[in-house]
């Protein structure tokens, strides 16, 4: 188990929010036994790689300095995109969506599939998979409530050349290459409707949504930042492309840092999203696609998985519109033996709820499963723990809230 870098969380409540703040990035490790990597998805101890040649590759990154292959599944078609929820990996595999059981990472096995034209990339929320198809120029919504028998739910055909997708709240945000950002309302999975569009410089190759911003990997135009607080009217507000070469293909964001990969990895300060500023380039590493978990970032390109650590981590307490999470309340705080954790979900979603101590060591995992929409309550019994400061981290899909609590005995 990795130790989450929250040793600095004692100074974390610096602004208002719960997004990670990072000031520097360093290479932690690499894994070189891949062949043709297209996508990457990170969880706490494993990274899942869509390798066009080798299929789904599962890399154990619990020790970032020594990652190793934990397991693999080579399906009948090529792996373009990957998303992980609960005990399943969903793979966009060219001619189909494939669903792989990964409850034992060493022995992944096929569960079900849905045949479709040019399955390219995807995102998953609750019992639905949102798959983009370049061949049919569409977003396809599949009901995956029964993983052995996924069924078609609905489609939006208002796309041109969809390249990347992220679902956040009730919307799907799509990097539509030459036509840039498109926003699709998926509140009715059987009738997804495009409601917003924003033209930005360059081509929309990769996308990552964090809070009220969409970060676009825009090819030769680097990073473009779009305000999505009004999904029907997204607005381009800033960008960074002050480098002599490189085609940005993947994007990720962690708090006030946006990351693009363009052969090398570039970290950009977006504290002021209207005027992004370069933090650093890591020219010896980069790749094609990028994702992260907690204070680690993972990029893939060619035959290599790169592992990066984010340094100087803190917490920024901000509450976003369109968040999948609301009413996140901890009481009593300070507490003596038990603390109640209340939260409400806008939709069915995968929830991971953990308690960490001040050193970043995970004390307990209270929840790690798909949870239905609506209000929920969890209780942490801390009778076996010592007095001190702890952190409650609630992760809903790609959205994370972290709050500080104090145990007094």
The whole-angstrom separation of Cα 202 and Cα 178 is 7
The whole-angstrom separation of Cα 80 and Cα 42 is 16
Instruction: Please work out, in degrees rounded to the nearest 5, the angle formed at the alpha carbon of residue 394 by the alpha carbons of 187 and 12.
Output: 125
Q: List the one residue out of 247, 194, 196, 253 whose CA is nearest residue 225.
A: 253
* 163 burial via Cβ count (<10 Å: 0-12, 13-18, 19+): buried
Q: What's the mean pLDDT in 32-59?
A: 95
Q: What is the pLDDT of residue 289?
A: 95
The whole-angstrom separation of Cα 214 and Cα 225 is 6
Return the CATH architecture of domain 325-407. Sandwich (2.60)
Cα atoms found within 13 Å of the Cα of residue 156, Cβ hemisphere only: 29
The whole-angstrom separation of Cα 328 and Cα 377 is 10
Contact criterion met (CB below 8 Å) for 130 and 141: yes
Q: What is the pLDDT of residue 361?
A: 82
Residue with tokens 């995109």: 81
Domain range summary for the chain, segments of one domain joined by +: 7-317, 325-407
pLDDT band at 354 (very low <50, low <70, confident <90, very high): very high
Cα atoms found within 13 Å of the Cα of residue 368, Cβ hemisphere only: 11
Tens digits of per-residue pLDDT, 217-275? 999 999 999 999 999 999 999 999 987 678 999 999 987 889 999 988 999 999 899 99
Alpha-helix residue ranges (DSSP H) falling in 50-135: none
If you ran DSSP here, which 8-state letter would residue 363 be given?
Answer: E
CATH code for residues 7-317: 2.130.10.10
């Amino acid at each position: 188990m990795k130790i989450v870098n929250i040793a600095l969380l004692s100074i974390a409540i610096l602004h208002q929010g719960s997004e990670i703040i990072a000031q520097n990035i360093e290479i932690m490790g690499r894994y070189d036994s891949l062949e043709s990597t297209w996508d990457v998805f990170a969880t706490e101890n494993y990274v899942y790689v869509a390798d066009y040649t080798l299929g789904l590759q599962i890399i154990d990154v619990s020790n970032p300095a020594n990652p190793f292959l934990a397991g693999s599944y080579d399906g009948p078609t090529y792996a373009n995109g990957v998303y992980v929820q609960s005990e399943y990996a969903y793979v966009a595999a060219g001619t189909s969506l494939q669903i792989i059981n990964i409850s034992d990472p060493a022995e992944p096995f096929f569960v079900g599939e849905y045949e479709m034209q040019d399955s390219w990339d995807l995102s998953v929320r609750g019992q639905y998979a949102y798959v983009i198809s370049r061949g049919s120029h569409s977003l396809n919504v599949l009901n995956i409530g029964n993983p052995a028998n996924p069924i078609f739910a609905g489609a939006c055909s208002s796309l041109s050349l969809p390249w990347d997708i992220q679902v956040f709240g009730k919307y799907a945000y799509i990097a539509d290459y030459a036509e840039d950002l498109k926003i699709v309302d998926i509140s009715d999975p059987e009738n997804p409707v495009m409601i917003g569009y924003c033209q930005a410089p360059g081509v929309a190759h990769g996308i990552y949504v964090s809070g009220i911003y969409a970060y676009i990997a825009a090819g030769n135009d680097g990073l473009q930042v779009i305000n999505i607080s009004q999904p029907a009217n997204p607005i381009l507000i800033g960008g960074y492309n002050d480098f002599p070469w490189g085609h940005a293909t993947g994007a990720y964001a962690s708090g006030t840092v946006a990351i693009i990969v363009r052969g090398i990895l570039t970290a950009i300060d977006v504290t002021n999203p209207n005027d992004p500023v370069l933090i650093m380039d890591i020219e010896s590493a980069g790749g094609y696609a990028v994702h992260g978990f907690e204070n680690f970032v993972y990029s893939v390109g060619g035959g290599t998985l790169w592992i990066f650590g984010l340094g100087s981590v803190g917490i920024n307490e901000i509450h976003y519109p369109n968040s999948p999470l609301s009413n996140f309340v901890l009481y009593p705080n300070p507490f003596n033996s038990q603390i109640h954790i209340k939260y409400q979900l806008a939709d069915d979603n995968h929830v991971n709820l953990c308690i960490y101590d001040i050193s970043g060591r995970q004390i307990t995992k209270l929840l790690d499963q798909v949870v239905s929409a609506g209000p929920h309550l969890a209780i942490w019994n801390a009778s076996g723990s010592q007095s001190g400061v702890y952190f409650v981290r609630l992760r809903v899909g790609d959205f994370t809230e972290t709050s500080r609590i104090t145990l007094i005995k």
